[in-house]
Structure formats: structure tokens, C-alpha cells
Amino acid sequence: MASNSMEDLVALCKRRGFIFQSDEIYGGQKGLYSFGPMGVELKNNLKQAWWKAMVWQRDDVEGLDASLLTSPNVLKYSGHEDTFTDPLSDCKDCKSRWREDQLTDGICPNCGSKNLTEARPFNLMFKTSIGPVDDGSSYAYLRPETAQQIFTNFKNVLDSTNRAVPFGIAQMGKSFRNEITPGKFIFRVREFEQMELEFFCKPDTDEEWFKYWVQSRIDWWLEQGIKKENIEVFEAPEDDLSHYSKATTDLLYKFPHGFEELEGIANRQDFDLGSHSKNQSEFNIKAKVMENKDSTTKLAVQDLDTKEWYIPFCIEPSAGVERGVFALLNEAYNEEEVEGKTRVVLSLKPHLSPIKAAVIPLKRNNEDLVNHAKDLKNKLQMLGMGRVILENSGNIGKSYRRHDEVGTPICITVDFETLENQTVTVRDRDTMEQKRLGPEELINYYGQYFE
């Protein structure tokens, strides 16, 4: 089942420590969220799965972790200073501010007044001063996408790794946007993480690579547990493309509020490398770029056959981590009736589960049971699948409920029989089936969840 109610998901996230509103004790900040003990594990697992698929399991991608503060020149030539804007109108009567697309017939949705200002462009980037003097002369932006630092580091990566086109540079990390109307829980926020790949290819191969990446990204989301029927592929119309894009395909997910963008795949052509290059006229740049008087480097490569220098094209799959977490929580959330009671269970794929196994001594604080459980916890932890937890609550039923709700694939109970013959009881989250297993069987059983 997907598309649960937003309320159910938000309540689960707070109750079980996935996601909290930021600065809640001071009334909360709109568009800012904090990931709690379960949320940070889920988020890290999602990012790790992306990194594995996009970097480790490929032979044509390198990683990068660049700075968040970005110099104005980068965002001038990327086009963000000029174009990364929303048109806004102010209501002169009630002083509320609206995006132009939120207004119908020029009426303020808050007070009904028609006394609105002309729409003016409002830049979505956060600006901050750099250095000790705050006189506006030295400033930087918090990056609005991770991509730009990939382009500006293109030559560093190329020269330090001996890569040749086609190859990609992957990066995950924070991006910041001063969204006018953040909302829909963590769907539209002002501080979020992106998982972005800039894949560089020869100009005449871009369409082929574009198709490849669209399919590859759909397949990856399916592997993370998203159902096929909950993903829609949307090709952006030409008049809706970003200034750098020749074609963009969005992967829409069926969020509780409807189908909306989870990831976008764009054909950025030679726009960014071309924009950030010096001596641009030496190259036959296809995209419409601004003349660059500040760059010190040519971001070009040599064709090994023709010996000609050219600016590679770039295909960019770009996914939001928060939207990914939201989609996975929605997809995994299930309510079912068990013996007259409602069981909430989060059927996450085990590699994404915040806790991989919970080891529960039958009696709270019984030294022998707790020591045995601790040893077992450490042994399973050492296998490197992720976090294993000791659940010293003494209440097996309550522990099962808690771990069903956070998506722990197995619970392992250590009881008095364990002390005699080393066997434990394992319980599967989804089927609720219980089995008694010896030590070796347990290791094999546990390993099966992560194959």
C-alpha cells in the first residue's frame, strides 16, 4: 500500500524519532527539519545505497565532496544569479507575499484584496558574508545545487585520476534554497541534501546516455523498494526547461499529496563546462552561454582520434535525499489488524532499515541474559551490515511493536534456554514467524536479509 495519510506518516516520524521540526522548542522554523536517531540511519543508508550504485559498482565514476559556500563568480556564470528566481507579489493591505502562480485573478489568497504589487523576481539563493567585515564587499552563497562545484572541479578530478570521457563525477550533500512556500512535510524545504551525478560524454552521444540514465535511475528506485505503479515518467515541455537544459525527464513519485518530482534527469549539454571556461571562442559551444572574463581554465578534453579539443556534454541525474526518505517511508508504511489490534509496520528493504536487528534479553537487567545478548549484539554488529541494538526493556511485546514501527527486519530473543544451549528465538518483521536457531544458523539467517 502506498499513499498513506500525511498525518500518519508525520506522527510516526515524530513518535519513533525519524524526523522532527527544527527549533521546535522556539515554535519551529518553516521549511527546516532535523533527522532523529532513526531518521539519520535511514538517510545514511539511502545515501550509501546511492553511492554504492553510482560510484563503487561502476568503473566510470569518481566521487567528490566540495565546499558548500560558493563564490559569486561560480553562480554568476552558472546563470543562478540571473535566473534562479521566483516572481513574487506583495499584498499592500495584509502584507503577505505570494508566488505569481499562487494568485488567481490578481486576488490575495489571504485577505481577498486586489491591492497587489507588480510581480518582482526574488532570488532563491542564501547569501552570507565572508571574512570579518560585513560591509557587503565579500560574500558567498550557500550552494543551491551540488552540481556547480562538480563543474568547477572538473579539471582537478580529470587530472588527478586519468579519466577519459565518458565518465562521471558524483556528489551528495547539502543544498540551500530560500523557498517561498516550503511545505508538504519534507517535500519542499529550505535546506536539503541532493545526490547528483554529472556524467560527461561526447556531444553526439548525449541522447543515448540520457536514455540510459533515465532507465538506470528508475531501476535503482525500484531496487530501493518503490513500486513501479507509484513512479511516473514526465518529460518536461520545452518552454519549461531550465536555462541549461536541452531535455529533462522527471521521475514523479506518488507522495501522499499526489504525484510530484522525486528526481530529475537533465541533458545539461555543454552549458556548465562551457560557461566556466576561459577562451570560449576556441570551442564550438552548443549551449547559450554568457561570455566569461574571469575563468582561468579551459574545461575541455582532447579527442584522442582527431586530436581536437572539445567541451563534453553532461547528463545529470539529480535526486533529493529528503524526498527519497519521504517516498520510502510512505512506501513502507503499513497498518494491519493482528488479533484485534492495529499493527503498524515499516516494511523497508533490510539494507535501508535504521536498525538491522534488535537483541532482546527476556528479563530486564538479568546479568547472564544481558551479557549474552551484548556479546551477540557485538558479533552481529561486527558483520558490518549496519546498526544492531540491545533492547533491554524486558517487555518482548513492546519491543516487537517498536521495532515493527521502525522497520527492524529481525528481533532476536535471548532466554534461559539460550544460556544452556546457545539457541535463540528469531522473529521476522513481515511474517511475524518465529524460529529457534543455533549460533551458526543464526549468522546464516541474519546474512540472508542482506544478500
Chain positions contacting ligand GAP, by CB under 6 A: 145, 147, 177, 179, 188-189, 192, 194, 196, 261-264, 316, 318-320, 322-323
Q: Which is nearer to ligand GAP, 262 or 285 (CB)?
A: 262
Grid coordinates representing 28? 519551529
Q: Which is nearer to ligand GAP, 222 or 419 (CB)?
A: 222
Enumerate the β-bridge partners of residue 309. Answer: 302
Q: Which is nearer to ligand GAP, 30 or 114 (CB)?
A: 30
**Alpha helix positions (H), 96-254:** 147-152, 154-161, 206-223
- Distance CA(276)–CA(230), nearest Å, equals 38
Q: Which is nearer to ligand GAP, 194 or 280 (CB)?
A: 194
Q: Considering the complex, what minimum distance in angstroms separates the CB of residue 294 from ligand GAP?
A: 22
Of 360, 358, 355, which is closest to residue 372 (Cα–Cα)?
360
Q: Which is nearer to ligand GAP, 248 or 280 (CB)?
A: 248
Grid coordinates representing 431? 511474517
Specify whether the CB–CB gap between 407 and 332 falls below 8 A. Answer: yes
Note if the bond before 37 is cis, omega within 30 degrees.
no
Q: Considering the complex, what minimum distance in angstroms separates the CB of residue 202 from ligand GAP?
A: 22
Contacts of 47 (CB under 8 A, 6+ apart): 172, 193, 195, 321
Grid coordinates representing 280? 570560449
Grid coordinates representing 2? 502506498
Q: Which is nearer to ligand GAP, 4 or 181 (CB)?
A: 181
Q: Considering the complex, what minimum distance in angstroms separates the CB of residue 190 from ligand GAP?
A: 7
Q: Considering the complex, what minimum distance in angstroms separates the CB of residue 11 from ligand GAP?
A: 21
The β-bridge relationship of strands 388-390 and 410-414 is unpaired
Q: Considering the complex, what minimum distance in angstroms separates the CB of residue 31 from ligand GAP?
A: 8
- Distance CA(265)–CA(236), nearest Å, equals 10
Q: Which is nearer to ligand GAP, 32 or 370 (CB)?
A: 32
Query: At 155, phi and psi to the nearest 5?
Result: -70, -40
Q: Considering the complex, what minimum distance in angstroms separates the CB of residue 170 from ligand GAP?
A: 12
Q: Which is nearer to ligand GAP, 331 or 404 (CB)?
A: 331
Q: Which is nearer to ligand GAP, 3 or 423 (CB)?
A: 3
Q: Kindly state the DSSP code that residue 439 receives in the 8-state scheme.
A: H
The β-bridge relationship of strands 333-338 and 313-320 is unpaired
Q: Which is nearer to ligand GAP, 323 or 429 (CB)?
A: 323
Q: Considering the complex, what minimum distance in angstroms separates the CB of residue 83 from ligand GAP?
A: 12
- Distance CA(209)–CA(192), nearest Å, equals 27
Instruction: Kindly state the greatest CA–CA separation across the chain.
Output: 81
Q: Which is nearer to ligand GAP, 265 or 410 (CB)?
A: 265
* R_g (Cα) of the chain, nearest Å: 26
Of 157, 172, 183, 185, which is closest to residue 263 (Cα–Cα)?
172
Q: Which residue is nearest to ligand GAP (CB)?
A: 320
Q: Considering the complex, what minimum distance in angstroms separates the CB of residue 37 from ligand GAP?
A: 22
Distances (CA, A) of 436 to 78, 239, 426, 440, 451: 60, 62, 6, 12, 22
Grid coordinates representing 216? 538506470
Q: Considering the complex, what minimum distance in angstroms separates the CB of residue 46 from ligand GAP?
A: 12
Grid coordinates representing 51? 553511492
Q: Considering the complex, what minimum distance in angstroms separates the CB of residue 254 from ligand GAP?
A: 15
Q: Considering the complex, what minimum distance in angstroms separates the CB of residue 173 from ligand GAP?
A: 12
Residue showing cell 586530436: 307
Query: At 431, phi and psi to the nearest 5?
Result: -90, -15
Grid coordinates representing 436? 529457534
Distance of alpha carbon 188 from the chain centroid: 12
